[in-house]
Structure 1
Amino acid sequence: MCENFPAHLITLIKLTHLVFANALRDVRVQVPAAVRRGEKAILKCLYDLEGDNLYSVKWYKGRREFYSYTPKETPAMKVFQFSGVKVERSSSNESQLVLDTVNAATTGKYSCEVSADAPSFHTLISAGDLEVVVVPGKEPIITGIKSRYHVGDIIRGNCTSAHSRPAANITWTINGYETNPSYVRQHKPIKDLRDLETVISGIHFVVTPQHFIRGKLKIRCTAHIHDVYWKSTEKSIEEDRQVARPNEVNLINSFSDDYFDLEDEDDNENDDVRDRSAHITHIKGDMSSLNANGSTAAHFATCLRLWPHLTTLPFLWYALQEILQLLRQLFGQQQITNAKIDNGLNRKVNKHSKHNIHYQQQKQQVEQHISRTTAKATAANSQATLSYLLKWLQRKQKHSQANNNKKEN
């Protein structure tokens, strides 16, 4: 059948086969994913000419050419000015490009275009992304975690990695093992005026006997950015086996995240990082006058039994103000607007019947408020709080009685 084809057509087919049999192929780039600011970045362009001659190698950032290497031209290397791109000529050639002293403007997509010489003039291109990283100046910091804990206590702490770009990734380990994700809460990075980011990660879990290995518990926080930065901080905790005194109740980080939310959506992105670890972590109350094993309802009943002994309306009013203020601090309630009381409240209740009516109304309001607060106090292990309130009421009663005695004298 070949005899039926014209000779020139057969010659063209053979030439085409020779051209494509020895054509440029396998062009690929090696671009580092991340480079520290101020360091050198080495980019490689690898290819297989398959017997062809090289015509040119060109590098682009985005769509703009900034470097070319053409062996048949003099000089073979040409560099074009480009913001953020500083080529180190002595180390660059047809297969390697070295960028010196990289900065934020160096970040971007880099492409290598390889062209073969005649007769194929085949051209292929490959690209990769480079990111310039600003690493934190210090290792991550762990805050809010004490050196000793009892079994059953709640550990709550933060790990902060400051001033980097991009924000570091933070991970936690307990005794060398990856932490249960439910223990960890990640917060949005905070940017400063230099466009650097600070990130905070929180940890929160209940201590169990299995956490202590020969009386020790180790918590490690690790911050890393790509493969150019990896720093960690470890906190060693000892098991506190000391038995608490019977008249003392400890509340250790027993409040829910609703009361101590580290994230404020209204914060400005450029605000400085605040110390977010300064929240209530430990309350001690003297339970000598109450049964520490009693129910919450019993403690409230004990408090209510004090009300008949409060014989002056001024004391009742100031006591109500102090109780409401303390409850707002513990449970994060919004500020409560208190009604003004008539100046006549300075007189004793037993002298005027209308004051007795006011007294009963105030007493009923306080009892209703305490009833509404019971559910919240129960969730926060309210025994210590009630003990504190009871002692405070007793002190106020004694103080008020002493003042009344002085006035009568």
Structure 2
Amino acid sequence: MTVLLVFGLFVVIATAHNITFLDVPRYGDPHREANLVCHYVNDKNDPELHSVKWYRGSNEIFRFTPEQQPPTRIFNTTSGGGVTRGSCNLHSCTISVVLPKTYNTRLSFTCEVSTEGPRFAVVKQTKNLTVAVILREDPVILGLPGIVQPGEDVILNCTTGLAMPPANIIWYIDGKPERMEPWMVNNTSVSLPNEFDLRSSWRSLHLRVNPHTPAISVRCEATQPTWPAYIRSTNASLIVARTPHLSMFTASGSISTAVEVSVAVLASCLSSVHIFSKYSALSEV
């Protein structure tokens, strides 16, 4: 970065290193340290590097000054989230930070790079981190049959892995959200916490198969209420049989129809046996 300052007849050019990359994870597990990395470069005629400073919010938590001994300093903060260690050189500075144990807390971290005097030009970048244990895998759909019958009732279950905050689950049928009564909006079930206070979520879907469609697509979408929201989803398809299975007559309540079909089949078999017996008797004569 170059700043042109004019004082009377004098022109002073103050230049600073450029921050090329700031790596702050979007989500951080409070049970693990978060690693933050700041990369910077200087142009050919830039002054030497003076210092690199890390801030959490407005509080300085770490400083690297290559011309001082020792070159690094750690500053403790009263609100937690202190630095445990740092490794810096003339082109990058990495620190490890302890995160607070309060889930869904949003933290801002700033890397500030300054060059030597007389103007000590400064550049800085800021990124945010949300304290959360995000879902590591997509949710799992259980109860998927190979083929479904027209008019059949199907029950599917969607389950997530352990996370915090727990995910809310929504089902989509052929791209449209499941039709729900008002009392079903927050109908996602959540497990008891484990030793790390992590929870899994699950939700069932009751589906009546439309006899006029060849297939049904479903999607289970799990959303963690973080900032920003974290979403993972799984898709599946149900293939509808072309002709109804015999058991569907009884499933739909048409017991008499099923009985009539069975009687007709039995009568046909008896008739065939009678004809065969008559033919055998004639052959013997």
* Shift in CA distance, 130/201, structure 1 to aligned 2, threshold 3 Å: same
Specify the alignment match of 1:125 in structure 2: 124
Q: How does 1:148-163 map to 2 (within 5 A)?
A: 149-161=148-160, 163=162
Equivalent position amino acid for 2:118 in 1:
P
CA distance in 1, matches of 2:41, 2:247: 76
Q: State the shift of 1:63 in Å.
A: 2.4
CA distance in 1, matches of 2:51, 2:238: 60
CA distance in 1, matches of 2:208, 2:247: 18
Stretch moving more, 59-68 or 119-128: 119-128
2:63 aligned with 1:72: no
Equivalent position amino acid for 2:149 in 1:
H
2:246 aligned with 1:243: yes
What SS does the aligned partner of 2:177 have? helix
**Matched residue count:** 233
Equivalent position amino acid for 2:158 in 1:
C
Q: State the shift of 1:75 in Å.
A: 0.8
Specify the alignment match of 2:266 in structure 1: none
Deviations 1:362-381 (A, max 9, x none): xxxxxxxxxxxxxxxxxxxx
CA distance in 1, matches of 2:84, 2:248: 71
Equivalent position amino acid for 1:87 in 2:
T
* Match of residue 182, structure 1, among 159, 177, 180: 177
* Match of residue 19, structure 1, among 8, 13, 24: 13
Any gaps of 5 or more consecutive residues in structure 1?
1-10, 251-284, 290-409
2:66 aligned with 1:63: no
What SS does the aligned partner of 1:88 have? strand
* Shift in CA distance, 157/184, structure 1 to aligned 2, threshold 3 Å: farther
CA distance in 2, matches of 1:72, 1:166: 45
* Shift in CA distance, 231/133, structure 1 to aligned 2, threshold 3 Å: farther
* Shift in CA distance, 104/181, structure 1 to aligned 2, threshold 3 Å: farther
Whose strand proportion is higher, 1 or 2? 2
Deviations 1:128-151 (A, max 9, x none): 111343255887454566665312
Deviations 1:115-164 (A, max 9, x none): 23211122333211113432558874545666653123354433132541
Equivalent position amino acid for 1:180 in 2:
G
Q: How does 1:346-357 map to 2 (within 5 A)?
A: none
Specify the alignment match of 1:88 in structure 2: 85
Specify the alignment match of 2:25 in structure 1: 32
**Aligned partners of 1:40 and 1:101 also within 8 Å:** yes
* Shift in CA distance, 100/184, structure 1 to aligned 2, threshold 3 Å: farther
Equivalent position amino acid for 1:98 in 2:
I
* Match of residue 96, structure 2, among 99, 104, 121: 99
CA distance in 2, matches of 1:98, 1:72: 19
What SS does the aligned partner of 2:84 have? coil
Q: State the shift of 1:15 in Å.
A: 3.8
CA distance in 2, matches of 1:228, 1:182: 18
CA distance in 2, matches of 1:137, 1:120: 47
* Shift in CA distance, 245/107, structure 1 to aligned 2, threshold 3 Å: closer
Q: State the shift of 1:183 in Å.
A: 3.2
Identity of aligned residues (%): 24
What SS does the aligned partner of 2:47 have? coil
Deviations 1:62-111 (A, max 9, x none): 2222110111211111123353434333x444632232676646962111
**Aligned partners of 1:184 and 1:201 also within 8 Å:** no
CA distance in 1, matches of 2:89, 2:170: 41
Specify the alignment match of 2:38 in structure 1: 45
* Match of residue 207, structure 1, among 190, 206, 209: 209
Any gaps of 5 or more consecutive residues in structure 2?
1-5, 258-285
Q: How does 1:275-354 map to 2 (within 5 A)?
A: 287-288=255-256
TM-score by length of 1: 0.44
2:109 aligned with 1:110: yes
CA distance in 1, matches of 2:136, 2:112: 38
Stretch moving more, 230-239 or 59-68: 230-239
CA RMSD of aligned residues (A): 4.5
Stretch moving more, 59-68 or 222-231: 222-231
Specify the alignment match of 1:134 in structure 2: 133
Deviations 1:229-252 (A, max 9, x none): 968586876748413475x353xx
* Shift in CA distance, 68/160, structure 1 to aligned 2, threshold 3 Å: same
Equivalent position amino acid for 1:207 in 2:
V
What SS does the aligned partner of 2:67 have? coil
CA distance in 2, matches of 1:245, 1:113: 70
TM-score by length of 2: 0.58
CA distance in 2, matches of 1:49, 1:14: 28
Whose helix proportion is higher, 1 or 2? 1
Q: State the shift of 1:59 in Å.
A: 0.8
Q: How does 1:190-269 map to 2 (within 5 A)?
A: 190=190, 192=192, 196-201=198-203, 203=205, 205-208=207-210, 210-212=213-215, 221=220, 223=222, 239=241, 241-244=244-247, 248-250=250-252
CA distance in 2, matches of 1:219, 1:12: 69
**Aligned partners of 1:168 and 1:223 also within 8 Å:** yes
